[in-house]
Amino acid sequence: MLVVLSVSRAAAAAGFTVAAEGSDAHPGTEAQPFATLERARDAVRELKKSGPLPDGGVTVEVRAGTYQMAQPLELAEADSGTSNAPVVYRARAGEEVRLVGGRVVTGWAPVTDSAVLARLDEAARTNVWQADLKALGVTDLGKMRSDSAWTTSDPGLELFFSDRPMTLARWPNAGTVRVGELKVQDGHAIHGQKGSKVGIFGYEGDRPKRWAGEKDVMLHGYWFWDWADQRYRVDSIDTAQRVITLPAKPKHDFGFRKGQWYYAYNLLCELDQPGEWYLDRESGILYFWPPVADPASGKAVVSVLPGLVKLDKASYVTLRGFTLEGCRGTAVSISGGSDDQMLGCTIRNVGGSGVGVSGTGHRVAGCDIYQTAQGGISLTGGDRKTLTPGGLVAENNHIHHYSRWKPVYRAAIRLDGVGNRASHNLIHDAPHMAIGFSGNDQVIEFNEIHDVVTHSNDAGAMYCGFNWSSRGNVIRYNYLHDITGYEGKGCVGVYLDDQFSSALIFGNIFYRVSSAAFIGGGHDTTIENNIFVECTPAVHIDARGLGWQSDSTNRLMKTVTDMPYGEEPWKSRYPALAKMLVDPDPLAPKGNVIARNIQWKGKWDGIEKKAQPYLVFQYNLLDLDPKFVDEKALDFRLRDDSPAFKVGFQKIPVEKIGLYPAETRASWPVSRTVAAAPNKPRPAAPAK
């Protein structure tokens, strides 16, 4: 028996195998594989009960196939490995393994119901198909509802076809329409912008007459600010007076302003072009105009599960090489534990974000994340009271075309806590921010970011705000380009908003960023050794604390007093905090240093006069040819005879910026398109 047990453990040390044609009654070998990841997980648990895992750990290898998951894979503390014996779940090298949280839609038939046909656009009647989701076992159809706040929104059930998200039937098919006259004048105003807290407004034209009989007419709009959206279910429409009334119960966070924009959706009568769909939630009938003649010629999937993989207090577990898709929420959640890794995975077509991470030492690397309804990767780790770093890392990931449902404040990468890092990522094509951060000692380096903040204004590609105690953050060696805001109205590259204080912005390249580096009234920030080309302006610094934000002292002081600023290690690390608390003029933008930067073309000075006396401004090279290696080719390296070196400028390691080839990259080479200005095509990246 001991010999048999020894042989069994030795075989298991080589790992277990999962295959689409397998059976959970099998032993999980190459010849007789398991059918599910859950059975493989249980086999690892059984192995651990008989003794420690062997050196090198255990690998669960999954063969090619599409695995329609009945529930998320849950891994707990009992499923952990160790540093010498990790537990690895991986797709077989060179094979596509898809973990799907949705259900394939079959049974498509032409629409024959005369009442439905009458509601459809004439051009759609012979092109729209229907399928019965309830007959397929999909009973949780979600609800159309008004958002409880502007920061909360989720799409619920979605339809994907041939691996792309389809569009819930809407009007207009592209773009938006404007909010008309506000019918309730209640004196509401914010920062001098007049509006109303009541959602009753006029519209132009007669399109809403078509919406009579629709069950849940929804509007999605940027109702007051260009950086805050919210979704509302329409209460009523007066087509004679051309007035829309939104419900009074949901919280109207900022109110409404004439001229802002919105669109209508969830309308069967607006299902009028290929790629649109509508779900009758009472009957369970899904209506779809596929982008091909027959929906059976492609694969249609509706999202069902809330997520796909959940690690709770598990340590030394690796997920590698999978394609994860088709769930309603965040695909992978990692909470607690330490040193888990997610490597070379593709996450797409999910109703939440790609990966949510908390704990210590976890790493997300080499992944492709796109077509998410919300963000990409969030990292929350470390203890702010003790300044203990979390050591969480997002590296070498390609994140793009995200935030398609919740378009604002859903970052490609979010850093919170202490001592986490985002490096060597490529981020592009998003309506709002690329990287958001808060806390202490975060490092953001060697990332390339372009074509973000495409549908927002007064927003930043990198953003943080309103905290005096969030110190020690470093933003270095990043390349930000082609970032100009919605309708070209302008946005920000690195946005330190609302008196956020203390960051190092060093060695970055900004090209065609409408407002590149922005200090919104804060303290103790250094902008040094950066290259600004065609930015308008390159640097913005204001003194809002001495003006419209002069009432913020107590709230900002609380961000300091909530932390042990007078104790170690805070006392030694951030001595300026104690001084701020006794400063007779704490809202003045003191301690900011702007030194050894290159500004070429564009505009340099976006500095408010009130702020100028408080600044240290030295050794900057302004409007003097810096002698780039090849400006036309966007090679912003400096020639040896550049005048910048005479003022102490340090070479930027351009060759290290962005993605790099690695065994753990989900795809290589990586291709993408950079939006070009009219008559001015440009290459995708600077020379390396």
d(CA 354, CA 365): 12
The predicted-structure confidence for 574-588, as pLDDT tens digits, reads as follows 999 988 889 999 999
Q: Number of C-alpha atoms within 13 angstroms, CB side, residue 312?
A: 5
pLDDT given at position 106: 97
**Both structure tokens of 509:** 């390249």
Q: Tens digits of per-residue pLDDT, 73-114?
A: 999 999 999 999 999 999 999 999 999 999 999 999 999 999
Q: Assess whether pLDDT exceeds 90 at residue 261.
A: yes
pLDDT of 539 higher than 80: yes
Q: How high is the pLDDT of residue 486?
A: 86
Token pair of 210 as six digits: 């078509």
**pLDDT beyond 90 at 563:** yes
What token pair was written down for 203?
């519209």
Kindly state the average pLDDT of the residues 145-165.
91
| DSSP secondary structure, 44-84, as one string | HHHHHHTSPPPTT-EEEEE-SEEEE-SS-EEE-GGG---SS
The model's pTM: 0.95
Model pLDDT, residue 6: 41
State the pLDDT at residue 251: 82
The one-letter amino acid code at 159 reads: L
Q: Specify the pLDDT at position 629.
A: 97
Which residues on neighbouring strands pair with residue 391, listed in sequence order?
A: none
Mean pLDDT of all residues in 626-649 = 96
Higher pLDDT, 143 or 270: 270
Mean pLDDT of 104-132: 96
Q: What is the pLDDT of residue 249?
A: 79
| Range of weakest confidence among 5-14, 594-603, 623-632 | 5-14
Q: Omega into 584 within 30° of 0, i.e. cis?
A: no
**Six-digit token string for 602:** 């564009």
Q: Minimum mean pLDDT among 109-113, 166-170, 246-250, 252-256: which range?
A: 246-250
Whole-number average pLDDT of the chain: 93
pLDDT value at 679 more than 80: no
- Kind of pairing, strands 526-528 and 503-506? parallel
> What pLDDT, on the 0 to 100 scale, is given for residue 152?
86
Contact at 8 Å (CB) between 687 and 637? yes
Q: Stretch 352-374: mean pLDDT, rounded?
A: 98
pLDDT of 250: 76
pLDDT digits (tens, 9 = 90+) for 378-436: 999 999 999 999 999 999 999 999 999 999 999 999 999 999 999 999 999 999 999 99
| pLDDT over 50 (residue 683) | no
pLDDT of amino acid 13: 52
Whole-number Å distance between alpha carbons of 64 and 654: 38
pLDDT score recorded for residue 392: 98
* pLDDT computed for residue 542 by the predictor: 95
Q: In the predicted model, is pLDDT for residue 223 greater than 70?
A: yes
Assess contact for 391 and 419: CB atoms under 8 A.
Answer: yes
**pLDDT score recorded for residue 680:** 43
Distance from the Cα of residue 329 to its chain's centroid: 13
Q: Does 10 have pLDDT greater than 70?
A: no
Q: 53: which DSSP letter?
A: P
Of the candidate ranges 201-210, 386-395, 634-643, 670-679, the one whose mean pLDDT is the lowest: 670-679
Taking 3-state DSSP, the helix, strand and coil percentages for the chain, each rounded to the nearest 5, stand at: 15, 35, 55
Strands 65-68 and 97-100: parallel
Q: Give kind and range of the element (H or E) at residue 51.
A: none
